[in-house]
Structure 1
Amino acid sequence: MNTSKRYAPEVRQRAVRMVFDHVADYPSQWAAIGAIAPKIGCTPETLRSWVRQTERDAGRREGTTTSERDRIKALERENRELKQANEILRKASAYFAQAELDRRGK
């Protein structure tokens, strides 16, 4: 995931397009990826992951698309924030309940 920030989106798109354009020149997609990756300056595994994600985004491969992944990440972040807010409210409620008991006891 961190490697995606290291390469400009244009570089990634160009590399994936090169794989799709030249896959017929090689015995397999992996062979094309292995030949093209050094020319781009990335590892074959990095390029393979870009190709797979592009295939998923285009509906040619099963799995979560980029937009679905982004939506899941946003929902998980929101869920974490809501859990934190609930925890704060629970602690505040307990604190004020105890303060009310202390006030009544005096």
Structure 2
Amino acid sequence: MSGSSRYPEEFRRDAVALARSASRPLAQVARELGVNHETLRTWVRAADRAESAAAAGGDAAERELRALRKRVAELEKEKEILRKAAAYFAQEMGR
């Protein structure tokens, strides 16, 4: 919802919130706000796309974070096994 517009960003955000929450038709809300109904419809669609993209990115980030945490746990386990093996072989070589 950015770009050059004669309407401030805050007004557009508030208008989108009002359009989503109103029980009145979008055209009526637009008339009450003094904007073209197609302009308001464009703002709502842009907000929907932005929220969908943010949600999809968040889901992907969460999946990646889980996968990375799992990999860290595996690597820590491998490191512990190798540390124990090195200590064992060092002790065997010292005999």
Instruction: State the TM-score, normalized to the length of structure 1.
Output: 0.45
The structure number with the bigger radius of gyration is: 2
Instruction: State the TM-score, normalized to the length of structure 2.
Output: 0.50
Higher relative contact order (CA 8 A, sep 6+): 2
